[in-house]
Amino acid sequence: MVTSAEWLELFLNLIVLAFGFKLVSEIARNGKVPPFIRTRTLIAQEIADAFGTLPKGSVVYDPGCGDGRVLFAIAAKNPGVQCVGIELRLFPYFLALRRRAAFLREYPEAKVRVIRGNSFKQDLSSATHVYTYLYPEVLDRLLPKFEKELHPGTILISLDFKFLKKISERIIPLAHAEKGKLGETLYVYRF
């Protein structure tokens, strides 16, 4: 007898497969797709630790959140804080939604949402904290938006990549960094 949980798992796996085909078609159509690079779990925990316990009323944005691994690590450490992930690509967005469903079963009081959209077009003005894992060129293209929309005092933490046109306030080497793998350094900025 197949349980409802097994049917749900089968259904979710079929959806993942369908989105995989969608991703392949996007690659064929566009010729290029920004890379989706998963952050290792230990690194995601270190990033959440770097944000620390956030004050009540904080709002964390993760533009280009991928599967949401870092976003959910921050949310687990700060269950009352609003966390918003933004992902443009369909496949990582679906993975983030799947992770969100599992996360909310464990943390039902969490205020986490994932938006499928373009980070350049989303309003970030409510952010008190921002996490990024974006190439320097993308960070610099987003810099005018950050400077316009982020309130004074907003903290931005970037993994591995720094702005070419803004100086970091602090640099944090990660304890779980592995030579030759991504996830070595956090760059902390204040807007």
**Residue ranges, the chain, pLDDT below 70:** 2-34
DSSP letters, 139-173, are HHHHHHHHHHHSPTT-EEEEES---SSS--SEEEE
Q: Count CA within 13 A, CB hemisphere, residue 92.
A: 22
0.75 exceeded by pTM = yes
Strand order across the 59-63 sheet: 111-116, 82-87, 59-63, 129-132, 155-159, 185-190, 170-173
Residue 37: predicted pLDDT: 87
Residue 15: predicted pLDDT: 67
Residue 180: predicted pLDDT: 81
Residue 36: predicted pLDDT: 82
Instruction: Please compute Rg for the chain using Cα positions.
Output: 17
Tens of pLDDT, residues 139-166 = 999 999 999 999 999 999 999 999 999 9
Tens of pLDDT, residues 111-127 = 999 999 999 999 999 99
